[in-house]
């Protein structure tokens, strides 16, 4: 017990000079200082006693973070210059002790990283990343966090890519690592393209770049197209030079989509899983406006058709391919929708399944949520009705499947719900899954 009290006193004494300074500057009153000391004393005795828990550290960390935030706000309001170093140092000291005692608790490490990031303590975050990766090299979320940090906060795609490559050596069996790696590359392309668009430097999509074979099972890293830091960051000294370098990126693998394609190829070689291929396809839908998106989508679908031609995942991608890169407001959408409808009819005639029907209903509902124009909405409703009738007639689709495919309530559009109730009148499962009334009945005619 004496040892516990001595340790607690030692850590409390370290904060006395700081508290005296805060009292002298009238940032905290004497009573508030006393309360701070009491709270810290309680925490220190808990932390230094036998049986201390990680939750005790978490509460102490929360207290210190809130206290430091209050100190900064008061100093700013009073116009007092109060350096952030002392409060920040105190928070980091508690975090250091927490991660040292509970080094296996990944939650504490992630909290440490989050606080460093919030306070923009970049030197500290590098140190913490190094420590946590040494302790938890097989945790995909840490590698993903590191890569995201370097790309989003530091704008360093080369370093972000290095972290993902290293992470894949330890976590090759993590599908999340592969899809996140592809997302980071697509985000990078999106940012570069947006900047080019603002500066008026956009050009037609570059020709397809040939990617080296990345299918060697023993390879430690993905064989990406040759891309240097100079390609990504450049060494421009003037605005004109920067614009030239930004424009030159169009002919590098950075914007051609070659890198996401290489990641996809390596991932499929690793897992041989058509569902993962479908996840890549869904990921690409978030970047459908990129000039290289259609080339990447074509690459994904070509692979899936070659390797898993009759899989519901492959067929779903193939059916949606004509419309994925075209917004419903585009004049090209009706023609693309016609191609999709033709593919859907042909596919359902040969390969109808509950999985495929569920996925078809899900994307039709999503398209109808985007508030298309009246003629497009009518066409989508007609397709939806046909799919539901086929599913009901073949007994491959039940109301419970409709609810399951949505993972949420039915769309609030009364026309959509009316179509569902045309196929399954007064079904209680459909009624329970929606919070709105169907409104007037809308009867649709099916046209071949």
Q: What number is the average pLDDT over the span 102-131?
A: 94
How far apart, in Å, are the Cα atoms of 431 and each of 384, 389, 403, 408, 427? 18, 19, 10, 13, 6
Residue 103 phi, psi dihedral angles, 5° rounding? -70, -15
**How many angstroms from the chain centroid is the CA of residue 76?**
35
> Torsion over CA of 181, 184, 189 and 191, rounded to 10 degrees?
180
Is the predicted pLDDT of residue 14 greater than 80, yes or no? yes
**DSSP state, residue 440:** S
| 421 confidence band (pLDDT: 50, 70, 90) | confident
Q: Which of 174-188, 196-210, 260-274 has the lowest mean pLDDT?
A: 196-210
Greater confidence (175 vs 426) lies with 175
Q: What number is the average pLDDT over the span 219-246?
A: 51
What string of DSSP letters covers 168-181?
HHH-TT-HHHHHHH
- Residue among 162, 185, 176, 164 at smallest CA distance from 292: 185
Q: What number is the average pLDDT over the span 292-315?
A: 94
Q: What is the mean pLDDT of the chain?
A: 83
Counting Cβ atoms within 10 Å, is residue 285 exposed (0-12), middle (13-18) or buried (19+)? Answer: middle
| 247 confidence band (pLDDT: 50, 70, 90) | low
Show the tokens assigned to 372: 């298309």
With a CB cutoff of 8 Å and minimum separation 6, the contacts of 44 are 7, 8, 11, 12
Q: Would you say 17 and 6 are in contact if contact means Cβ atoms under 8 Å apart?
A: no
Residue 297 CA to residue 293 CA, distance in Å, equals 6
The H or E element containing residue 165 is: helix 157-170
CB atoms within 10 A of CB 169: 12
| 201 confidence band (pLDDT: 50, 70, 90) | low
Show the tokens assigned to 430: 């459909």
pLDDT of residue 217: 46
Is the predicted pLDDT of residue 303 greater than 90, yes or no? yes
pLDDT of residue 57: 93
pLDDT digits (tens, 9 = 90+) for 352-400: 898 899 899 988 988 888 777 888 889 999 999 999 999 999 888 888 8
For 274, what's the count of Cα atoms within 13 Å in the CB-facing half-sphere? 18
pLDDT digits (tens, 9 = 90+) for 46-55: 998 888 899 9
Residue 282 CA to residue 202 CA, distance in Å, equals 26
SS3 155: coil
Is the predicted pLDDT of residue 248 greater than 70, yes or no? no
Show the tokens assigned to 383: 């397709």
Greater confidence (22 vs 417) lies with 22
Show the tokens assigned to 415: 């026309």
CB atoms within 10 A of CB 438: 19
pLDDT of residue 256: 83
Q: Would you say 271 and 175 are in contact if contact means Cβ atoms under 8 Å apart?
A: yes
CA distance between the termini of the chain:
85
SS3 57: helix
Greater confidence (256 vs 295) lies with 295
Is the predicted pLDDT of residue 446 greater than 80, yes or no? no
Is the predicted pLDDT of residue 311 greater than 90, yes or no? yes
Is the predicted pLDDT of residue 38 greater than 70, yes or no? yes
Is the predicted pLDDT of residue 1 greater than 90, yes or no? no
Residue 399 CA to residue 228 CA, distance in Å, equals 53
Q: Which residue reads 């904060």 in tokens?
A: 15
Is the predicted pLDDT of residue 270 greater than 60, yes or no? yes
Q: Which of 84-88, 273-277, 366-370 has the highest mean pLDDT?
A: 273-277
Is the predicted pLDDT of residue 209 greater than 60, yes or no? no
| 238 confidence band (pLDDT: 50, 70, 90) | low
CB atoms within 10 A of CB 431: 15
Q: Would you say 401 and 392 are in contact if contact means Cβ atoms under 8 Å apart?
A: no
- Residue among 307, 289, 41 at smallest CA distance from 186: 289
Show the tokens assigned to 317: 């991608």
Cα angle at 306 between 300 and 309, to 5 degrees? 95
| 87 confidence band (pLDDT: 50, 70, 90) | confident
Is the predicted pLDDT of residue 249 greater than 70, yes or no? no
What string of DSSP letters covers 240-264?
HHHHHHHHHGGGSHHHHSHHHHHHH
């Amino acid at each position: 017990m004496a040892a516990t009290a001595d340790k607690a006193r030692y850590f409390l004494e370290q904060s006395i000079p700081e508290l005296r300074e805060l009292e002298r500057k009238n940032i905290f009153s004497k009573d508030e200082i006393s309360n701070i000391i009491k709270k810290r004393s309680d925490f220190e005795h808990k932390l230094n006693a036998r049986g201390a828990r990680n939750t005790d550290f978490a509460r102490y960390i929360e207290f210190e973070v809130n206290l430091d935030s209050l100190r900064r706000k008061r100093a700013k309001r009073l116009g007092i210059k109060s350096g952030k170093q002392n409060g920040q140092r105190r928070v980091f000291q508690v975090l250091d002790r927490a991660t040292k005692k509970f080094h296996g608790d990944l939650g504490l490490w992630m909290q440490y990283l989050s606080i460093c990031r919030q306070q923009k303590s970049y030197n500290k975050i590098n140190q913490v990343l190094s420590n946590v990766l040494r302790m938890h090299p097989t945790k995909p979320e840490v590698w993903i966090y590191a890569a995201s940090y370097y790309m989003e906060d530091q704008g360093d795609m080369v370093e972000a890519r290095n972290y993902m490559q290293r992470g894949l050596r330890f976590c090759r069996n993590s599908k999340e690592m592969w899809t996140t790696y592809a997302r980071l590359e697509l985000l990078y392309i999106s940012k570069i393209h947006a900047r080019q668009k603002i500066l008026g430097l956009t050009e037609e999509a570059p020709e397809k770049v040939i990617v080296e074979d990345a299918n060697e099972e023993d390879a430690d890293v993905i064989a990406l197209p040759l891309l240097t830091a100079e390609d990504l960051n450049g060494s421009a000294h003037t605005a004109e030079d920067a614009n030239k370098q930004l424009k030159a990126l169009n002919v590098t693998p950075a914007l051609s989509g070659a890198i996401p394609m290489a990641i996809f190829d390596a991932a499929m070689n690793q897992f041989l899983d058509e569902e993962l291929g479908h996840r890549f396809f869904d990921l690409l839908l978030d970047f459908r406006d990129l000039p290289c998106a259609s080339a990447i989508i074509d690459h994904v679908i070509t692979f899936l058709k070659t390797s898993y031609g009759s899989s519901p995942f492959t067929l779903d991608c193939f059916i949606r391919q004509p419309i994925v890169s075209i917004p419903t407001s585009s004049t090209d959408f009706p023609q693309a929708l016609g191609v999709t409808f033709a593919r859907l009819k042909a596919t359902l005639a040969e390969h109808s399944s509950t999985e495929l029907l569920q996925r078809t209903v899900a994307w039709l509902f999503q398209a109808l949520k985007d508030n298309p124009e009246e003629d497009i909405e009518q066409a989508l409703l007609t397709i939806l009705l046909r799919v539901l009738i086929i599913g009901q007639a073949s007994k491959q689709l039940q109301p419970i499947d409709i609810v399951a495919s949505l993972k949420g309530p039915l769309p609030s559009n009364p026309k959509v719900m009316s179509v569902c109730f045309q196929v399954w009148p007064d079904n209680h499962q459909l009624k329970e899954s929606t919070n709105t009334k169907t409104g007037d009945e809308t009867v649709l005619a099916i046209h071949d």
